[in-house]
Structure 1
């Protein structure tokens, strides 16, 4: 069970760059802004990301773009100096920017989950 924090509640967090979040499974949902930001960072057309880096998951007949995973690791996760590194860090998706904080739902704006997989 994930910990729930409320708006205004303080929590200490320091990223130790374990790469656990990037290697914990696929299905990082993307917004249109995420896709455009990644394409701009990679200096390419957004359409060229489809298939190579992004695919669609159908949820209730609605296609949701997600990052491709390779062996349950983000396609953009690399190792540099024996540390996990995001190759698109400045353009990483919103969900990655928020991690380890995870929105509960669009209708619940005053609480968030804190992921337990994050060391």
Structure 2
């Protein structure tokens, strides 16, 4: 009798996904020569999930989205733009990235 195919889907909790994506985005920024910081308060009262200082003094902000619902209910990402030169969404591989706006960059971590 042939073995049946088994489909295993990994499901992470929202905090675990957030942590994993945040760490991945910070590691990518470091690999690109940036100095990443986590949970950085901004003058407008918002908090950047990942802010990174680039080798030429540029500032990048990564807004981590743990899932589709997180993106749908959180529309404050436009308020980060005045405080950075580069803006990215950072998401997990299973995130439906086609729903994200075109103008920010995308990090899949």
TM superposition score normalised by structure 1:
0.27
Which of the two has higher C-alpha Rg? 2
More strand by share: 1
TM superposition score normalised by structure 2:
0.29
Greater relative CO (CA pairs within 8 A, separation 6+): 1
More helix by share: 2
